Amino acid sequence: MAAALPLLRIDAPGDPALIADYAVAALIDEACLTPKPALVDRRGSGAHRDLDLDTMLRSARALRPTFFAIARAAAGERPSQALRERLARIGREGEHTMMTATGDSNAHRGAIWIVGLLCAGAAMNAPDGSEAICASAAAIARFHDRFAPQAAASSHGARVAARYGVAGARGEAREGFPHVSRIGLPALVNARARHLNEDDARLDTLIAIVASLDDTCLLHRGGLAALRAAQHGARRVIEAGGVAQEAGRAALARLDRTLLALNASPGGAADLLAATLLLDRLQRLN
């Protein structure tokens, strides 16, 4: 079952400690959500030989100080070059912390960028809501990090985005997180309105993101064949009425088998689901 929403503390919505707690909770909820197609969950490692659920949970918890530092640095600030570079430095330190916690397995590198930016936006905009949070996070992302290591430009995500002409995680952020604000959150609200249990609502949200996203994780691991298979399979789940329906659950199982055979997983969509869950928690607080 989905993790219960923690009891709210008597804190302002922009409190960096609360934002960090919610960010970690969102990563944990995403990791534990089961069954996800070819992703780490309670069943096993999916298509990831170097990851399992315990590793994902260690990574998420190890990142709390990073998210706290990001939110604290952004509180009371406006988007700027200086803030962008300060947050980038915190993020790189957080990546080192994550790799230490996981034994050098990349559990949440993409989430540090995506969720970290939204933590900054939340600290700057509480209690103005998800639209303002995404707008501020996007404004930060549009500044260039002059101190980024050269390796960042040749990361798997950057190379794949350039090769296939897709937005990637950086483009998603600079565009204001459309797969969170326009797809993830509406899908979650719609699923709850249909009285789905929380796990099924979150799975339908993930599937909605997979169906639309040009996921660089899929492209890196399996090329266009994997991306097209994932998007096609996700649309079949939606057309069958979603995961709460027998036909939709069967379509989800087929998608899982297809992606496992291709040794590919929608890791980018998983990061955006975590981002969606973070903003959902913050909206409930306001």
Average pLDDT over residues 71-83: 97
Tell me how far CA of residue 134 lies from CA of 27, 110, 115, 119, 148, in angstroms. Answer: 18, 16, 11, 10, 23
Average pLDDT over residues 207-216: 98
Rounded Cα gap, residues 262 and 256, in angstroms: 10
Summarize pLDDT for 47-59 with one digit per residue, the tens: 999 999 999 999 9
The backbone torsions φ and ψ at residue 219, rounded to the nearest 5 degrees and listed phi first, read -65, -40
Strand-pairing partners, residue 41, are 44
Summarize pLDDT for 188-204 with one digit per residue, the tens: 999 999 999 999 999 99
Nearest CA-CA partner of 178 in 145, 153, 214: 214
4: pLDDT confidence band, cut at 50, 70 and 90? Answer: very low
For 268, the token pair is: 């980018």
Q: 53: buried, middle or exposed (CB in 10 Å: 19+, 13-18, 0-12)?
A: middle
Rounded Cα gap, residues 119 and 67, in angstroms: 7
Yes or no: domain 16-146+168-285 corresponds to CATH 1.10.4200: yes
Rounded Cα gap, residues 202 and 195, in angstroms: 12
For 236, the token pair is: 């079949």
71: pLDDT confidence band, cut at 50, 70 and 90? Answer: very high
For 188, the token pair is: 């979650």
Average pLDDT over residues 48-77: 97
For 66, the token pair is: 């990073």
More confident: 242 or 11: 242
* pTM, rounded to two decimals: 0.93
Domain ranges of the chain: 16-146+168-285
